[in-house]
Amino acid sequence: MTTASPTMKPTTSPARPGAPAPGHGAMGMVSIDPMRLLRRYYPLLVVATVFGAALGLACHLVLLRVYPVWTATAVFECRAQATNPRELGTQIEGADAMMRFMGTQVAIMTSDDILANALKDPELLNTAWYRQFRDGERAKAMQRLTKDVNARVRTNTSLITLNMSWHKPTDAAVVVNAVTRAYMQELEQTGKRASIERRDALNSRLRDISREKDRLNQARERLLQENKVTDIEGQQTEENMQIQQIAEKLVQIRATRATITSLQQKYNEILKLQGTKTYPDELMAEARRDPIIQETEQQIASMKIDERALLARGIGEEHDAIRALRNRIESAQREVDTRRDTLLSRLFDSRLDQFRSEMAALDEQERELEAKLKTANTRKEDLVRILVRVKQMATDLEALTKEETEIAIAMKDTETLSSARVFDRVRVLRMAQTPDRVTFPKWEILIPLGVVLCTGLVGGVIVLRELLDQRVRGPSDVAIIPRLTVLGMVPEASEDPARPKTVETSLRDTPGGVVSESFRQIRAPLVKRMDQEGRRTLLVLAGMPGSGATTVVSNMALACASAGERVLVIDANLRRPAMHRVFKLSEGPGLGDVLVGQATFEQAVQESGTANLSVITAGALANRTVPERLSSEAMTRVLNEAAARYDRVILDAPPAIVAGDGLALANSADAVVLVVRAMNEKRGLVNRLRIQLSEARGELLGVVVNAVRASAGGYFKRNIRATHDYQTQAK
């Protein structure tokens, strides 16, 4: 159950319409407080622990006498694969490959073939383990051996353990050693077979290498013959020189061709000119070298000398001799010019023809050289391809020769490697010894197991009992009911150190008690909620008889009166009234008398002897026989008048489970508080009352859990003591 804090603050759970508390339904399992259960049942758990330890020890002693188990173990060591570079196909072995190898060996050790060979061992045949099987039951022995013998890889090691558990230690060691010998014999035979297979593989590879070398040599010779190659590198050099020469000639031809093309373009431009042509200087020079022109020019020069001589002698320019001489000079000059023009024209045409013929010759030479260059390049490429193929063949031959040498060396070492057990990767690290300690039973296992089983069984029963118990034990059991608020709780009066004589008036008689303080703490949230909505009349309703509704009514009235409120208590329990006894008042006139009209409201109100607190008792017995009057118009008028005269009106009513009076009054009062006695009502009843009251006029403000008992030695009990000590010291 949920208890108050060290100041005994009431436990509340806010209403959340439409949704249950987290993880629970209205009738769901109650939440379990492990510490509370431990405090309540720890003596039983201690007894269960001691009994479990004793039971475990007894089982150990009995099993040690009637069914001991001894385990014999052989240990094997696994080594990594050989990495000799001369061995064919060897490689460095990784951790995964090593684990696979060890797992394979574990499977081989416990295989049917190994176990069948072990059953032939003479030492095993003389054991009591084997004699338990009658003659002809070898199959059963095989099945039992398969079940009893186990092998496993030790984690993070290179070790394998082979073990067997049996009731006689000597037999267990003999059987394990028989299996070990059978496994090692099989391993040795496998190694020999592997050596033979290795030699055969090496010989086969040598034959393949020889055939491959012959094929490469023949292919090389055939390639050279087909391409008529004797000296590849020499022919390559010759071809390179030829290509270089052709390239140089092409350069020369193309340069000459460019020069001729330039001259040809120049002459063509002269040819296009209209009128006087300006011939190139080379043609002019060639024309001047003409003998006739040179002779005529000399004559002209001689005549010009004669002309100057005549002029020097004083002969005038109009002289006939001068004129005749000048006429001859002009005639000779015209002849020279004509001769020069004719010669230049002929030379010009001749030079154009020469250019055309030279260009044609150069084009032909260029084509021939380009064809030769192409042929030479093709030949060169063929030689390069042949050289690449020949070199690749040479590389392949070299690799084959190297491999052939390595295999030859490996074959010479095969016998040595085999005799040195190079192929053996597993060795026996330790043969099985006769065990000197039992494997089963072990007290360090059975005693804790007995403790766990017994304590767990008792704890499970306790938890199951707690889960199946539907009684309200404290506020936590009410808090799991949806849309229901816990206003607070009141501890069992007998656990209050103040020892109130009358619990109904404990707040007046023992104001420093824990019970009194609980009612004060309940009053605060209750009054706050009523004042927020302007409610004056409060119905206090119990679920079952004996829940303490009357106690809650009287103490809540005393608490409100002590706070200065004008309080009226109405005893509406016409069946078993108690307020006149609690406050020591007369039974009448009271509520029943007012309802039948035999007394007025003022006449029914009695003073309780406590300031601000008045009481209307149930009334005379004759007027209490018709409880239906509680739902009449007269009752409504009583409540309205009480609400107009007093700050707080609190009604006591019969328990809801035995009478419908309370539900009827719930339709007249402004608010309702439900009182539940711990360990008395069940959660189903509380939830049903919640549903019924949710349809009434008065709002259900919450639940007060009454008579809550503290767990033995628990914090609630310490809180009660702390609250009492604090109140006592305050005085």
Write out pLDDT tens, residues 112-121.
999 999 999 9
Per-residue model confidence (pLDDT) at position 17: 36
The answer, yes or no, to whether residue 613 has pLDDT greater than 90, is yes
Containing 694, the helix (H) or strand (E) segment is helix 683-694
Same domain flag for 401 and 445: no
Query: Mean pLDDT over residues 687-702, rounded?
Result: 88
Handedness of CA 725, 729, 730, 731 (dihedral sign): positive
User: Residue 594 in contact with residue 536, Cβ under 8 Å?
Assistant: no
Containing 490, the helix (H) or strand (E) segment is strand 486-491
With vertex at residue 441, the alpha carbon angle to CA 438 and CA 444, rounded to the nearest 5 degrees, is 105
Range of the domain at 249: 232-414
**Residue 682 domain flag:** yes
Candidate ranges 76-90, 412-426, 531-545; pick with highest mean pLDDT: 531-545
Cα–Cα nearest to 488, from 683, 704, 686, 720: 704
Which residue has better confidence, 389 or 566? 566
Per-residue model confidence (pLDDT) at position 21: 38
The answer, yes or no, to whether residue 722 has pLDDT greater than 80, is no
**Residue 208 domain flag:** no
Same domain flag for 497 and 392: no
Give 5's pLDDT tier (boundaries 50, 70, 90). very low
Same domain flag for 345 and 398: yes
What average pLDDT does the structure give for the chain?
A: 82
Q: Which amino acid is at 321?
A: A
Q: How far is CA 253 from CA 25, 257, 353, 372, in A?
A: 111, 6, 19, 15
**Residue 111 domain flag:** no
Same domain flag for 462 and 488: no
Query: Mean pLDDT over residues 156-178, rounded?
Result: 92
Per-residue model confidence (pLDDT) at position 277: 63
**Residue 266 domain flag:** yes
Give 727's pLDDT tier (boundaries 50, 70, 90). low
Query: Mean pLDDT over residues 139-155, rounded?
Result: 91
Per-residue model confidence (pLDDT) at position 679: 83
**Residue 179 domain flag:** no
> Which of 327-331, 339-343, 372-376, 462-466 shows the lowest mean pLDDT across its residues?
462-466
| Percentage of residues in the chain having pLDDT higher than 90 | 26
Containing 634, the helix (H) or strand (E) segment is helix 633-645
Same domain flag for 490 and 590: yes
The answer, yes or no, to whether residue 525 has pLDDT greater than 60, is yes
**Residue 618 domain flag:** yes
Query: Mean pLDDT over residues 342-363, rounded?
Result: 85
Same domain flag for 549 and 663: yes
* Whole-angstrom distance, CA of residue 109 vs CA of residue 183: 6
Q: What is the DSSP string of 389-418?
A: HHHHHHHHHHHHHHHHHHHHHHHHHHHHHH
Into how many domains does the chain fold?
3
The answer, yes or no, to whether residue 415 has pLDDT greater than 80, is no
421 dihedral zone (left: phi>0; alpha: psi -120 to 50; beta): left
Same domain flag for 283 and 319: yes
Decide the pairing of beta strands 486-491 and 699-708.
parallel
The CATH number assigned to the domain holding 580 equals 3.40.50.300
Query: Mean pLDDT over residues 201-209, rounded?
Result: 88
The answer, yes or no, to whether residue 724 has pLDDT greater than 80, is no
**Residue 98 domain flag:** no
* Calculated CA dihedral for residues 114, 117, 118, 123, nearest 10 degrees: -160
**Residue 46 domain flag:** yes
Same domain flag for 464 and 572: no
Per-residue model confidence (pLDDT) at position 614: 95
Same domain flag for 457 and 548: no
Q: 283 — phi, psi (to 5°)?
A: -70, -40
The answer, yes or no, to whether residue 133 has pLDDT greater than 60, is yes
Same domain flag for 401 and 536: no
